[in-house]
Amino acid sequence: MTEGVLINKMTETGKSAGEMEEVTLIPNKAIDIKLEADVITPDSFAGKSAEEIGMLSVWQGPTTYPLSDFFEVLGNAGSSAAETLIRIKGDAMRIKRIGEGMSAGKIEIEGSAGMHVGTGMKGGEIVVYGDADSWAGMEMLGGLLHIKGNAGDHVGCAYRGKWHGMKGGCIIIEGSARHQLGGGMDGGEILVEGNVEGFCGIRQNGGLIVVKGGALRTVGVEMAGGTIVVGGKIQRFSPGFEFVSMENKVTSGETEIIGEFKKFTGDYAISKRAKGALYVSADANPEL
């Protein structure tokens, strides 16, 4: 979106929810088999001391270990999830399921996050300063997941075999994402500053996906509803879409995107009654 301006009112949700107690997790060794650490949430930390938090168990392969085997835990949690801030000081690329199902509070990861960060999160905020591995924000229901680096496959997507992905909340990716972003999405918003690869918004039913950069192919295939905006070039455009009109602004809920767009609807390859809207930058895609 070379000339486009993104006016996003969602970023205001990052505002502080009053006083927060901070728990710091400092990785203390290299991790070989990836950890399943769905206990790293403000919800399960709430009301616990550093020592109690260290005793929470995480899975590594077929065995459970206390969290303190992998992290130095500093500081006590707040009395509720909303009053708890978890700061991971270091790289968490080999730690899966951080913030899974969290309902409130905040997690800041000062490195990269492993697979499934923010899966099914209901509220609160996660900030990843590095990259996020695949399945970030899978089936997310609410809250804000802010990834400052790049993301892997399946951002905000449905679980394998499932038809419904993200239902609410917001995912912001400052870098690029890979395949199947927003697959089966029912609601909420995903904003990508960089590019995406294949199958962005596959089987989308609702919600908004904004990609400022370009996309490889199969954007919006099998979509039945919702909105996708692509600001850059789509390398290979899917055949199931029909041109509707030229637009100079896209409005979806509280989000407004200004720029010259070609509006398509579809995907008619599957259903004749599909209601998906696909906006494509006019400048970047002159041949469409």
Partner 1 sequence: MAGTIAIKNGYVFDPLNEINGEKMDIFIRDGKVVKELSSAEMKEAKVIDASGMTVMPGGVDSHSHVAGAKVNAGRSMRPEDHYKANLNKTALTHSGSGYTVPSVFKQGYDYAAMGYTTVFEAAVPPLEARHTHEEMRATPLLDMGGYLVLGNNFFLMRYIRNGDMEKAAAYVAWMMKTHKTYGIKCVNPAGVENWAWGKNVSDLDEANIHFEITPREVIKGLTEINETLGMPMPVHLHANNLGHPGCYAITKDSLKIPDGVKTRQNMDVEWAETKIDPLRDRSVYLTHLMFNSFAGTTWADCESGVKDIADYINNRDHVVIDSGCVPFGEATVMTGDGPAIHDLYTLTGNKWSNTDIEMECGSGVLPFNYLKSNPVHSLQWAMGLECLLLINDPWKTIMTTDSPNGGPFTKYPEVMTWIMSEAFRKQTFGECHKWANDRSALGGVNRELSLYDLAILTRANPAKTIGMAHRKGSLGEGADGDVTVYNLNPQQLDPNNYEALLRTFRKAEYTVKGGEIVAVKGEIVSLPEKRTYYSEVHVENEREKEMLADVKEWFRYYTLGFANYPTPEKYLANPTPIQVNGER
- The footprint of partner 1 (CB under 8 A) covers 158-163, 270-271
Q: In this complex, which beta carbon is closest to partner 1, that of residue 5 or of residue 270?
A: 270
Q: In this complex, which beta carbon is closest to partner 1, that of residue 135 or of residue 279?
A: 135
Distance CA(11)–CA(83), nearest Å, equals 20
Distance CA(187)–CA(139), nearest Å, equals 10
What would the two tokens of residue 54 be? 């260290």
CB of residue 192 vs partner 1: minimum separation in angstroms?
25
Q: Cis omega (within 30 of 0) on the bond before 283?
A: no
CB of residue 56 vs partner 1: minimum separation in angstroms?
17
Task: Lay out the sheet containing 234-236: strands in order across.
Answer: 196-198, 215-217, 234-236
CB of residue 158 vs partner 1: minimum separation in angstroms?
8
Q: In this complex, which beta carbon is closest to partner 1, that of residue 138 or of residue 173?
A: 138
CB of residue 62 vs partner 1: minimum separation in angstroms?
9
Q: In this complex, which beta carbon is closest to partner 1, that of residue 156 or of residue 259?
A: 156
Q: In this complex, which beta carbon is closest to partner 1, that of residue 83 or of residue 186?
A: 186
Q: Which residues contact 221 (CB under 8 A, 6 or more apart)?
A: 199, 201, 202, 203, 238, 240, 267, 269
Exposure on the CB side of residue 174, measured as CA atoms within 13 A: 10
CA nearest neighbour of 95 among 171, 174, 39: 39
CB of residue 32 vs partner 1: minimum separation in angstroms?
22
Sign, CA dihedral 67-70-151-173, equals positive
Count of residues for the chain? 288
CB of residue 146 vs partner 1: minimum separation in angstroms?
26
Q: In this complex, which beta carbon is closest to partner 1, that of residue 208 or of residue 274?
A: 274
